[in-house]
Structure formats: C-alpha cells, structure tokens
Structure 1
Amino acid sequence: MKIQSTKLVYFSPTGTTKAVVEGISRGIDAIELERIDLTKPAARLKPLQTGENDLLVVGVPVYMGRVPEVIQEWLQSIKAQNTPSVCIVVYGNRVYDDALLELKDILAADGCIPMAAGAFIGEHSFSSDETPIAADRPDLRDISQAEAFGRKIKEKLDAILSAEEIGDLNVPGEFPYRGETKLWDVDFIAVSSDCNQCQLCAEVCPVGAIHTENSRLIDPEKCITCCACIKNCPQHARAIKNGPVNDASVRLNTLFKEPKQPELFY
C-alpha cells in the first residue's frame, strides 16, 4: 500500500510520548512527514482531515487509566477516510487500564482503520529524585523497540494493496471504560525563592494554568497535574508539596518498582 503522507499526532507535556512516537516514525521511515503537537492549546484549535493514502500515528499519555480529557474533543473531531492508524499510549509503569482501547475506539469512530497499537512506558509525571517512578523512561531499549515497531508497521503496509485488507485489531481493555477523566483539583506545586519569573513554566503549561505575569499563581481547576512546569524549570524552583500528589508519588514508587516493558499489538 502506498502511503503518501505520515501524520504524527501527540500530546506530550513532559516529552515522553513525543519521544516514543518519534522513534516509531524513524522505523516507518516516511517520505513525507507531518507533526501535529497537541501539547500547546493553539494546536488543538485546528481540525485534522486524513485520507486513505495517509498513515496516522497518534500518541497520548495515560491519565487515570484513560485518554486525557483535555484532548478528547480534538481527537473525536478528526475526519478520516479509511485512514490506516497506529494507536500509542504511554504510561508511568503503573497500568494503562482502558486507555489503549479508548484511543482505538475514538479513531475508529473518526473513520480510521486501526492497524497496530502499543503501550509504552514513560517516566511518571509525579516522579522525582526522592521518589523515582520509571525514571528516564523511555530509555534506549524502549526507543529501539519503538523503531522496530515502526519497521514492522511499514512491512505490513507494504504487504497490502489497500486499507480494506487490514484485519480487526484487538487490544486489552473494557467497555464501559474504567477510571475517571476528571483529574484532581488540587493545589500541589510549591514555588521556592529561586524562582526568577522567567515564565518558562507558563510557556510549557499545556492548559494555560499558570499566570503569564506571576508564575507563582496557578489555577488548580485548569491544572492537569502533568508536572511539565516542575520538570522544565531551569532554576529547579518548583516541586510537589506535601499532600495527595506527593502521597501518590510515594505509593507509586513503592508499589511499581519492577520495570514494565512495551506491549505491542497488530
């Protein structure tokens, strides 16, 4: 099957999902490549249309076992015409629950034909030096597996004449989906005196939860606890304060030390 354009779609506040999707794209070795980074709010205002000669690779982080609510409306608005698609979820070494099935169902309802899927591991948003959770994942081995996955996808596309030959894709999960799409409404970020108001945190926030003139002001109702502001602060002036998020990081560090490996489906 001849693919004219490969479109990479990802939501990646801390860069882990982007790293996995980029690894897959290197394996696919597409001639024409378009990247659609949904992390910035402005990107989620532009609709996407795809055709039967496109390949759509969609990667999302797992939030509470689900596809993040902040991008669900955009994903559901994709207009596709028998577009071969690859579904990717990235989770913090706990569980991905029904997120992969949910993403597959969303893309199928859009008019895509899911042909492959993968669940990869990325460093958890709550991970820190004190409570590491899948620290430094995806690592070199993960990226190598992502590239090999991309090569396998290319082989499968080369072996068929049209998307109509793609069979049913089965992935783990239950419907109705478990978990909650609504995230915690909690004030959990401590800002130290080292903050010099460089505003990088406001720039990387995917939901505009940080005041653009005073970065100490954070709207907990908008915040999705992605911790992008903490991980990107050049002064290391932001941290998780004592409370439910810190308690969760301790539990995750204690209960999920054994490194999980990517799971791939064709």
Structure 2
Amino acid sequence: MSDKMEVYYFSPTGGTKKVSDIFAAAVGKDVVWHDLGDKQMLTEQPQGELIIVTAPVFAGRIPSVVREKIKTLAGEGKKAVTIAVYGNRAYEDALLEMNDILKQAGFTVIAAAAFVAQHSIVPEVGTGRPDAEDIKEIRAFAEAVKNSTSAENIHVPGNRPYKPEMKVAAAPLSLSSCTACGVCAKICPTDAIAAAEGKMVTDVSKCILCMACVHACPLQARILPPPLQEKTDNMLAAFRDIRNKNEVFF
C-alpha cells in the first residue's frame, strides 16, 4: 500500500472521530481527512490508494448525510475499509449499507469493523468507550489492515432491504439560557437550525437527531424534548450494564 490514506468521517458528537484517530494513528500513514459533516458537498475525488469511511450508527443505519456524500465518490478500483461506530446497542445494517454503496461506486472493500463508543443521546450507555480495551482492538484491526494484501470484497452482517430509517417528529430545542450565538446553526450538517426573532429554531423535517448542536452548544442550552429523552432513556436502559463487543471482518 502507498504511504497515504484518506479518511471520510462523520462525527457529530466526537465518538466516531475518536475511533478514527486511534485507527489512523495505528496505521501510521499520512492521512487526508474529509469531514462528511461539512455542509459543502464533496468536490475532490479520493486520490489515496486506501480509503477509510467511518460513520456512527443511527438506529441500525448510517446517517443520510453519510449515505448521500459517499455515493458521489469514484472508487476506480481503490481499496476501502469501513468502520461503523455504534452506541453499545447494535449496528444492524450499517456496515452492509456502507459496503454496498462503496462497492457500487467501484471500491473494493477489503476490511470492515464495528466499534463501540459512548451513546450520543444516552451517555450512560457505553460510558467511557472506546476505553483501553477498545483501543487495543482498534489498533489490532489497524495493524491487520496495514498488512493486508487482500483484493477481494468482504462479507459483513446485515439484511437487505435495510431496516427503515429512524423517523422521529421531534428535534433538540433551545432553553431560555440560549443567547442565539449561532454555534448550533453553524455546525448542523443538514441546515436544520436558523435564527428567527432572536431565537434558534429547528426544522424538524430536516433534523436527523445527530446531536451535534447539543454537543457543541457552549452554554449547554440545547436539549432533546424531555418526553423524547425519557423515552430513549427507558428504551436503552437494558444496555447500561452490558458491554457489547467490537467486531472485525476480513
């Protein structure tokens, strides 16, 4: 493999970027980073020999932001690695979806992995992950990728058709402490947030519940609507004391 690789990542709350950083450092190549959360459409096609795509798992799927942008990449026979980062519940069809898109775009997916990170909506699930044990496993996966001579597509778990995308008629809202500084609107990958009459207003039809705005708010003035937060807390309560595993595929 060449000494350069390109990493395409979407990390609205930091977990996916953390996994990506650990992986990239362990591979030890010069890295060109592409933030799929950037509102600008991708214009430059991948030049590196090895392409990495990392994405969080949203209810068993990859986010629409990731899906639509990686569809524009031209594989031209380049090798790719996919990494799904999930919040300790399940990754379901996410890896399969990523692999299908990249293969259709002309990439050869030589390896894939699902790694656990702290849940973005219920941080008590997967707290502190990736931890020391996870880091060892990410590094071992990176080492295996670095030494791989594979030129064939791999198989990963999942189902076709993919499970339906998460659709929730709700979005994060601003508390009275919000100063309308605009940080949330700037970081929102789908342009769902805008200032209106001195307040930050969210278009529910555009929001993908990525939690980027909540994570980025300097005053912690963005929250999920309490009924939705409570519902999600209860739904994921069973996963608070479970340590789900990382999985790799070659």
TM-score by length of 2: 0.91
Are residues 1:231 and 2:215 paired?
yes
What is the deviation of 1:61? 0.9
Q: AA paired with 2:155?
A: N
Aligned partner of 1:46 in structure 2 is 42
Superposed CA offset, 1:15-40 (max 9, x none): 1111111111111100x321001112
Superposed CA offset, 1:144-183 (max 9, x none): 3222211111111xxx4xxxx5234121111222x22353
Superposed CA offset, 1:84-127 (max 9, x none): 11011011111111111111111111111111100011222211
Are residues 1:262 and 2:241 paired?
no
- The within-5 A match list for 1:1-266 is 2-30=1-29, 32-42=30-40, 45-50=41-46, 54-128=49-123, 132-156=124-148, 160=149, 165-177=150-162, 179-181=163-165, 183-187=167-171, 189-212=172-195, 214-266=198-250
Aligned to 2:66, the other structure's residue is in SS state helix
Aligned to 1:119, the other structure's residue is in SS state strand
Q: Percent identity?
A: 32
What is the deviation of 1:245? 4.3
What is the deviation of 1:193? 2.5
Aligned to 2:32, the other structure's residue is in SS state strand
Q: CA separation in 2, counterparts of 1:235 and 1:242?
A: 18
Q: CA separation in 1, counterparts of 2:79 and 2:240?
A: 34
Equivalent pair of 2:4/2:50 in contact (CA under 8 Å)? yes
What is the deviation of 1:10? 0.4
Superposed CA offset, 1:219-252 (max 9, x none): 1111111112112222222222222343022221
Superposed CA offset, 1:193-228 (max 9, x none): 322222222222221211146453111111111112
Aligned pair in 2 of structure 1 residues 35, 222: CA closer, same or farther (>3 Å)? same
Aligned length in residues: 249
Root-mean-square deviation (CA), in Å?
A: 2.0
Equivalent pair of 2:180/2:195 in contact (CA under 8 Å)? no
Q: CA separation in 2, counterparts of 1:255 and 1:46?
A: 36
TM-score by length of 1: 0.86
Q: CA separation in 2, counterparts of 1:85 and 1:244?
A: 37
Q: AA paired with 1:175?
A: R
- For structure 2, the 5+ residue unaligned runs are none
Q: CA separation in 2, counterparts of 1:257 and 1:241?
A: 25
Aligned to 1:59, the other structure's residue is in SS state strand
Aligned to 2:16, the other structure's residue is in SS state helix
Structure 1 segments of 4+ aligned residues over 4 angstroms from their partners:
212-215
Q: CA separation in 1, counterparts of 2:188 and 2:135?
A: 25
Q: AA paired with 1:29?
A: G
Equivalent pair of 1:100/1:173 in contact (CA under 8 Å)? yes
Q: CA separation in 1, counterparts of 2:27 and 2:223?
A: 38
